[in-house]
Amino acid sequence: MQPKFVPMTPSGYAKINQEIDDLKQTRPALIKALADARALGDLSENAEYSAAKRDLRRMEGRLRYLQRQISYSKIIQNTNHSKIDLGSIVKMRFVDDHDEITYEIVGKHEADVVNNKISFQSPLGSALMHHKTHDIVLVTAPDEQYQVEILEIN
């Protein structure tokens, strides 16, 4: 069976690599804290040892998770600004209330609605994919359907 690659923007890839580097830099301090706690004696009643071991385990688990994401990622470079694709920044207007908003279309692990980054697999993201400026797109969300007009693509 072929591995399934996860599409990702270059900035998302760089962000994950930066977090991996940061975790690798904190690892020696966590190992030292574990060794110091172990030196305190009886491990069965040593709260510092248990906490240090838990912290190291969490960091290593996160590191493995991020490395797996990187190994299965496929960087998508958006060069065509005439159609919406991964990495596009889309300004749109909701047809029903005329509210305007701008979103960046990103991979599922990069999605962050607070920072206006939506996954290409979300209901809105998937409806927008491959459309052009001035298209009116029907979005089917879990609770409703609505239309958006694409105003700008960068």
User: Would you call 153 exposed, middle or buried from its count of C-beta atoms within 10 A (0-12, 13-18, 19+)?
Assistant: buried
- How many whole angstroms separate alpha carbon 108 and alpha carbon 47? 38
Task: Tell me the domain boundaries of the chain.
Answer: 6-75, 89-153
* Record: fold of 89-153: Chitinase A; domain 3 (3.10.50)
pLDDT tens-digit profile of 17-47? 999 999 999 999 999 999 998 888 777 778 8
Q: What is the DSSP letter of 110?
A: T
pLDDT given for residue 2 in this prediction = 67
- The parts of the chain modelled with pLDDT lower than 50 are none
Predicted model pTM: 0.81
CATH 3.10.250.10 is held by the domain 6-75: no
What pairs with residue 45 in β-bridges?
A: none
